[in-house]
Structure 1
Amino acid sequence: MIPVHTTAVVIIPPEDVWEPIQEIRREHDHNIRRWMPHITLFYPFIPHENFYNIQYDLQQTCKHIKPFSVKLDTVGHFKQRKGNFILWTGCEEQQEMQGLYKSLKLLLQNKTEVKKRPFHPHLTIGRMRDADKFEDLKSNVESSWQTIEFEVNKISLIWRNDPPDDVFRIEYEVPLGSE
């Protein structure tokens, strides 16, 4: 199946850890309305109407993966091709996260197009075009960032409509370690 930009597989932190993330995003991420805080596993993904075709396989894969703790303890950035600078918090050295991604990639590579680039788990907290303002934002966030820790015990399949109803919503959650 050809992937679409209206669906994704993500990890959504529990709402009780959202506030420090959303505090930054409210001011520096114009996509805050569309996306909930998340770590992207696969985007774009299969069309929403095909989610049911993959639910069982995802359950079978995820039931063998134990829930794990994630620490969003680093702040980094990258520049998109479109010219936006992206500020993120992440967990680069997280073996369990990499293991989850590899297991899902192995499952999905025969069902849809999967990007071949390395997986760098991160949660976007800001984006802007102005390089000087971005450097100021990055410095401020780096100096004040407090580690956020939470348990990953499920993955979420999310989808959205086209504008104006283009806010992502959870369609299906797959628990980890359910065997």
Structure 2
Amino acid sequence: LDKYQEEVHDLWKQIYNIDENPGYTFDPSRNICAQIMSDSQINRRFDRYLLHKLNNVYYSIEHLQLVGTETIPIDESNEKQINLSDHYALQLIIDFQTRIINHRSALVILPPTNHWPMIKSFCDGDGPSFVQWPPHFNLLWPFYYLNHSLDDQLDILLPLRILFSQISSFQIQVDDFDTFMENHVSFLKPNEKSTQLMKELFERTKRLLPACVKNPQNEYNPHLTIEQYENAEQLNQARSSLVLHKPFDFPVEYVYILQRCLKDDAQPFHILYQIPLGPVLPKLNSIDLKLKEFFQTMNLYESDESYNQKQDKFTKLSSCF
């Protein structure tokens, strides 16, 4: 069970400190029936709730305790008592919820804001690309729709932080335009070395969150969408103006989770979380000045208390790796 503890959860350990409250359901030290039945007189957790984790389902334990611990009188003259059984029972109330993978959420790489005006200059201004989305490279889309719950922090954000702490930041160079003819899309593409680095990041992220990959057989093709045209004729007409005269570079120091309202596709995406790459986990407000100003305006900073709690969880879990 220890070997598969990441996939199979022992629910008693989720609620209680096993050293302080071990949850023995067979307990000869307190249970007369167990004393009679046991040769070794060793306390054991013969009964337990084990739950195999699913990628798109999360749970919250509302109640878990031992029951059947009471005794009944067997000799009223000397007040002797006996247990109902040699085993105690476990009573569990658990709430399951489906974690939504939705096209209104994405895990992305963002170029710095000083490159945005140049990137947006290639868009004709009529399409929704840069009205609803900031310039971005998708890593996983659609992605889990997060609602700031503890389960999101433990099952999505913390595993991503641990994974990305093992991946060093890297440099991307964007040097050319290209098109997807089948859906009339123009895009900026990174050079060969940058593409390989992004593919490596994608593969490691995909292994962590496989449910977010719609078709694992499809090759990941990192690109920054500029425009989607109505037909091939419009795309061909626009090609002559899609010339990148000079490559541009930027560092990938963070991966971002973008999200927008579930009920309104007209709402633009906003930055929900930014997750640093590299072994040092700086606070989420360690960003460039323009993004910092944007975060302040949108009230997107995490609190010191939240940050310290995550750091504490990371410290405890890092011993497992």
Between the aligned partners of 1:54 and 1:151, the Cα distance in structure 2 is 24
Between the aligned partners of 2:179 and 2:260, the Cα distance in structure 1 is 26
SS at match of 2:101: coil
Query: Which residue, out of 198, 201, 222, partners 1:97?
Result: 198
* 1:146 CA displacement: 2.7
Aligned to 1:153: 253
Structure with greater contact order relative to length (CA < 8 Å, sep ≥ 6): 1
SS at match of 2:274: strand
Residue pairs, 1:125-140, within 5 angstroms: 125-140=226-241
Aligned to 1:75: 177
**CA offsets 1:89-125 (integer angstroms, 9 cap, x no match):** 011522221111111111111xx24131111110011
Q: Residues 85 and 145 of structure 1: is their aligned pair in 2 closer, same or farther, counting only changes over 3 Å?
A: farther
Show structure 1 runs of 4+ deviating over 3 A. Answer: none
Residue pairs, 1:153-172, within 5 angstroms: 153-161=253-261, 162-163=263-264, 166-172=267-273
TM value normalised by structure 1: 0.88
Aligned to 2:166: 64
What is the identity, as a one-letter code, of the residue corresponding to 1:147? P
SS at match of 1:27: coil
Residue pairs, 1:21-36, within 5 angstroms: 21-27=119-125, 29-36=127-134
Contact 2:137 2:222 in 1 (8 A): yes
Query: Which residue, out of 205, 216, 219, partners 1:118?
Result: 219
Once structures 1 and 2 are overlaid, which stretch shifts more, 132-141 or 22-31?
Answer: 22-31
SS at match of 1:72: strand
* 1:145 CA displacement: 4.1
**CA offsets 1:108-166 (integer angstroms, 9 cap, x no match):** 11xx2413111111001111113222112122213x44312100001001110132662
Q: Residues 26 and 137 of structure 1: is their aligned pair in 2 closer, same or farther, counting only changes over 3 Å?
A: closer
Unmatched runs of 5 consecutive residues or more in structure 1: none
Between the aligned partners of 1:172 and 1:160, the Cα distance in structure 2 is 12
* 1:48 CA displacement: 2.0
Between the aligned partners of 1:34 and 1:40, the Cα distance in structure 2 is 14
SS at match of 1:56: helix
Contact 1:64 1:178 in 2 (8 A): yes
Paired positions, count: 173
Contact 2:101 2:144 in 1 (8 A): yes
C-alpha root-mean-square deviation of aligned residues, in Å?
Answer: 1.9
* 1:79 CA displacement: 3.7
Between the aligned partners of 1:178 and 1:6, the Cα distance in structure 2 is 30
